Structure 1
Amino acid sequence: MIAPWYAWPLALVSLVCLMVVSLLVGVADFSWTVSTVHDQQILFISRIPRTLALVLMGMSLAVAGLLMQMLVRNRFVDPGTTGTIESAMLGLLLVAMLAPDLSVLNKMLVCSVFAMLGSFVFMGLLRTIPLRSPVMVPLVGIMFGGVISSITLFFAYRFNLLQSLSNWMNGDFSAILRGRYELLWAGAALTVVGYFAANRFTLLGLGRHHAVNLGLNYRTVMFLGLLIVSLMSSVTVVTAGVIPFLGLIVPNVISIFLGDNLKKSLPWVAWLGAILVLFCDLLGRLLRYPYEIPIGTVMGVLGSALFIYLLLKRTKNHHG
């Protein structure tokens, strides 16, 4: 299906409107005239960085989920159901234990290495386990991620880091300020890389034999895809924690309307990811105003319901 010519203008307008609303919502008194130093500090140090972080993180996680689904050739997976996020958190915990003064960039690199290792192990598991149903793939990933999470929890308990681990596991943007979100721009850059390599990832989604027959360097493209997913996952974990289900739901919704052509669907996946994160963050800020519900909690509730619906719908279509 081809989107009509007016779809992108409407999409951009809706995104800008949500961003403006996000700038308006907050506990602190704020005037758009920005006539005082207090107003300038709220706008430029807190509100704008938080809104940009929401947009960038939504784009990154949604695109990471789309790429992971193409790499695994299964619509029921994302970095959170393949052990990638859990591996990144294990890396972050080890950094907190062994090198707590490490820079944010180096923390991200360490998390990326662990995330990629976890992704490779998951891909290896899929090759050794007979998978007769598409639902088995995320189940294997969830069990694998559970094992890694148990190891992480054990070390966090032994080294008195349970509170830090709890903060990382539940995405929260309340502490995002200028100077603490800029790493997320790397996610936007990786999204652009993914767009330019979209045709190769689309071929990869056809399967190893078809991709090789069409002249694709299968191993190189697979490594590039896992590298992008690992870096995106690590950036989000280090910056704001885990937001569940986002990378799983958004690509599924877009694929219903636009199919599996990655170059066509990737910009829409990035847009819907940003929209959904902005919406969930606003919901979390308004439901118990002036208190705030972490976005990870809001997305967990909405995402689990949408995931069950998509799971039942696609399973029914598969058997039908």
Structure 2
Amino acid sequence: MTNHSKLPAVILAIAPAAALLTVVLSVLYGTKDISAAEVWRAVVSFDPGDVNHQIILHSRLPRALGALLVGACLAVSGAVMQGITRNDLASPSLLGVSDGSIFAVTLCMIFAPQLSGSGLILVSMTGSLFGAALVFGMGHLLPGGNAPVTLAILGTLTGMFLNGLSDAIAMYYHIPQAVSFWYNARLYQIDPGLIRLSLPFAAAGLALLMVLSRSISALSLGDEVSAGLGQRVRLVRGFTMLAVALLSGISVALAGKIAFVGLIVPHIAKMLGGSDYRRSIPLSGVLGGLFLAFCDILSRFINFPFETPIGVVTALFGVPFFLYLIRRKGGKSHA
């Protein structure tokens, strides 16, 4: 049986070394192999005229760090969504959260194209809240609408609707290529400046969730149990969804929509660390970052020398896992 008291501590202790190794591998390998010595020279004595140095510091290093950050944000978002909804199929990409962000960003590109990076994050966060509100609102109105499979279907339909609406608006205003980035995530185009801007927002969202972690654990047992333990259910759920919107908004603003990270990783974290969200949240963050960074590295070699879209790689792991969850849960909520 997994030792839930020791294993999370071991994983978190080795996480910095694992993250560093992932970054090194991501910087070294790609369409063009770069030696470790060249990477070291780029870090300690950057030469703006050296093409390799430009690739290392302005493309591969931000890409690796961005993958770690986006993966962590998506995994933590998925973990707490599964907790507060008691739905094993909950994740930002399945329940309309990411699609709402992209819809809001599309409107922003048309009506406020000069918006700052921090403004883009806030717009993306607002869109996340909008997408989640649509899905959960319909779930509350329909009989049995809160069942896992039903919510997943509602999320898929909402995503299709928002995607179609965004595409129609983009074509009308002649910006379809610009919008395509958000639906076909490209980590190699990640903006280094936006990563720096995102860090304080990500830290705020993670800190809020850690403060709420004990309450989220209680809420995952059911509203009645949580209220019996003295939790203010609506307040906890509201602040948790605010943090989810913030983290999901950061992810979309940085890299577009990436599916399945927020679905797969929380289940692995729960298996390794148990259902206490004081452990599950940091575990999900660490594993999510490493998972997406690994998928990004893998994407460079599946069809070398061409890169496979990151969404295809995550789907290779995510689709079988999604089908497994549907079969295991049978469309029913937690008992």
Opposite residue 268 of structure 1, the aligned amino acid is L
* 200-209 vs 310-319, which moves further: 310-319
> Is residue 136 of structure 2 the alignment partner of residue 136 of structure 1?
no
Please give the alpha-carbon distance, in whole angstroms, between the structure 1 residues aligned to 2:276 and 2:13. Answer: 21
Tell me which of 81, 88, 91 is aligned to 1:75.
88
> Is residue 10 of structure 2 the alignment partner of residue 3 of structure 1?
no
* TM-aligned CA deviation for residue 94 of structure 1: 0.6
Change (3 A) 1:256 1:29: closer
* 195-204 vs 140-149, which moves further: 140-149
Partner of 1:19: 23
SS for the counterpart of 1:260 is coil
Residue pairs, 1:92-103, within 5 angstroms: 92-103=105-116
* TM-aligned CA deviation for residue 11 of structure 1: 4.1
Change (3 A) 1:204 1:99: same
Residue pairs, 1:85-234, within 5 angstroms: 85-131=98-144, 133-185=147-199, 186-234=201-249
Which sections of structure 1, spanning at least 5 residues, go unmatched?
none
Change (3 A) 1:218 1:6: closer
Partner of 1:296: 311
SS for the counterpart of 1:111 is helix
Please give the alpha-carbon distance, in whole angstroms, between the structure 1 residues aligned to 2:150 and 2:54. Answer: 50
Q: 8 Å contact 2:300–2:308 — kept in the other structure?
A: yes
> Is residue 270 of structure 2 the alignment partner of residue 267 of structure 1?
no
Which sections of structure 2, spanning at least 5 residues, go unmatched?
none
TM-score, normalising length: structure 1: 0.90
* 7-16 vs 67-76, which moves further: 7-16
Please give the alpha-carbon distance, in whole angstroms, between the structure 1 residues aligned to 2:226 and 2:85. Answer: 14
Please give the alpha-carbon distance, in whole angstroms, between the structure 2 residues aligned to 1:245 and 1:114. Answer: 19
TM-score, normalising length: structure 2: 0.86
Change (3 A) 1:3 1:310: farther
Tell me which of 272, 294, 298 is aligned to 1:257.
272
Please give the alpha-carbon distance, in whole angstroms, between the structure 1 residues aligned to 2:16 and 2:33. Answer: 28
Change (3 A) 1:44 1:274: same
Partner of 2:39: 32
Partner of 2:321: 306
Please give the alpha-carbon distance, in whole angstroms, between the structure 2 residues aligned to 1:32 and 1:81. Answer: 38
* TM-aligned CA deviation for residue 280 of structure 1: 0.6
Please give the alpha-carbon distance, in whole angstroms, between the structure 2 residues aligned to 1:145 and 1:281. Answer: 24
Change (3 A) 1:114 1:204: same
SS for the counterpart of 1:288 is coil
Partner of 2:255: 240
Q: 8 Å contact 1:57–1:184 — kept in the other structure?
A: no
* TM-aligned CA deviation for residue 301 of structure 1: 2.8
* Aligned-residue CA RMSD (Å): 2.4
> Is residue 79 of structure 2 the alignment partner of residue 66 of structure 1?
yes
Please give the alpha-carbon distance, in whole angstroms, between the structure 1 residues aligned to 2:290 and 2:46. Answer: 31
Q: 8 Å contact 1:72–1:123 — kept in the other structure?
A: no
Please give the alpha-carbon distance, in whole angstroms, between the structure 1 residues aligned to 2:325 and 2:23. Answer: 28
| 1:194-240 CA-partner distances (Å, limit 9, x unpaired) | 12221111122233332223222222211211111111111111111
Change (3 A) 1:36 1:106: closer
Aligned residues, how many? 319
Q: 8 Å contact 1:170–1:297 — kept in the other structure?
A: no
Please give the alpha-carbon distance, in whole angstroms, between the structure 2 residues aligned to 1:130 and 1:318. Answer: 14
* 22-31 vs 74-83, which moves further: 22-31
Opposite residue 32 of structure 1, the aligned amino acid is V
Please give the alpha-carbon distance, in whole angstroms, between the structure 1 residues aligned to 2:64 and 2:149. Answer: 35
Change (3 A) 1:42 1:71: same
Q: 8 Å contact 2:90–2:263 — kept in the other structure?
A: yes
* 215-224 vs 126-135, which moves further: 126-135
* TM-aligned CA deviation for residue 40 of structure 1: 4.4
